[in-house]
Amino acid sequence: MATNSETSLCNTALVSLKANTLLNLTTDTSEEATICQVIYYQARNQLLVVYPWGFATKRATLQQNVVAPDWGYTYAYPLPSDYLKIQLIADEDINRFEVEEKQIVTDASTCKIKYTAEITDVGAFDEKFVFLLPYLIKAMMAYAITGKRTIEVSAWQLYQEMEIDAFNSDSSENSIIETTENDLIVVR
């Protein structure tokens, strides 16, 4: 089985556009490489934030910033350095908050979050993410590579179809425990 890399993910997209492939994303100087260098990181982070991928989900108890907000809120909590998007604020006391200047401002004296982290290690990506990312890269660079809007539109449509399949497949990994009437009868 081939090892995934940033280069191989970009090459998957390039091959589907019938474009030249790369030897190395960071050192190649071709036009295709330049386009991939611009798009890869944007596509990766965009895909990370549109869905709460299990491999990119982290939890943190944030520490209060020693400097309180000037007004409007009592406390500020710096976000983790790998933070991309909040999925959940876990503290019951937080009913009002904002994200400003890489921190959460609120009136709650504690702050626990579940968030999407920026994952840069391709080896940490799950298989659904690895499957979907080249489709997004392809859609984002289709016009720049081919100069044809019809190919760009087609690439976006295909990405959207693949996105639905991947999200539906990934969501089945989260557990939701359903209690049936028979379970309740047994407890009695």
**Residue 174 has what pLDDT?**
58
What is the tally of structural domains in the chain? 2
On whether both 164 and 135 belong to a single domain, the answer is yes
Question: Can you tell me whether residue 117 is helix, strand or coil?
Answer: strand
- Whether 176 is covered by a domain: the verdict is no
Got the DSSP string for 79-109? PPTTEEEEEEE--TT-S-EEEETTEEEES-S
On whether both 133 and 101 belong to a single domain, the answer is no
On whether both 136 and 166 belong to a single domain, the answer is yes
**Residue 172 has what pLDDT?**
53
The answer to whether residue 4 scores a pLDDT higher than 90 is no
Instruction: Tell me the whole-structure pTM to 2 decimals.
Output: 0.84
> Closest by alpha carbon to 78, among 45, 105, 97?
105
Nearest-angstrom CA–CA distance, 76 and 106? 6
In the DSSP assignment, the letter for residue 172 is T
Nearest-angstrom CA–CA distance, 164 and 147? 27
Pairing mode, strands 57-62 and 111-117:
antiparallel
- Whether 183 is covered by a domain: the verdict is no
On whether both 20 and 73 belong to a single domain, the answer is no
Confidence bin at 181 (pLDDT 50/70/90): very low
What is the percent of the chain where pLDDT is above 90? 81
**Residue 180 has what pLDDT?**
41
Domain with 20 in it: 6-52+126-171
Q: Where are the alpha helices (DSSP H) in the chain?
A: 6-16, 31-50, 127-146, 149-171, 181-187
83-89 sheet: strands from edge to edge: 57-62, 111-117, 83-89
On whether both 68 and 108 belong to a single domain, the answer is yes
Each residue of 37-52: pLDDT tens digit?
A: 999 999 999 999 999 9
- Comparing 112-126, 127-141, 157-171, the range with the smallest average pLDDT is 157-171
**Residue 93 has what pLDDT?**
73
Average pLDDT over residues 143-161: 96
State the chain's mean pLDDT as an integer. Answer: 89
On whether both 48 and 60 belong to a single domain, the answer is no
On whether both 87 and 112 belong to a single domain, the answer is yes
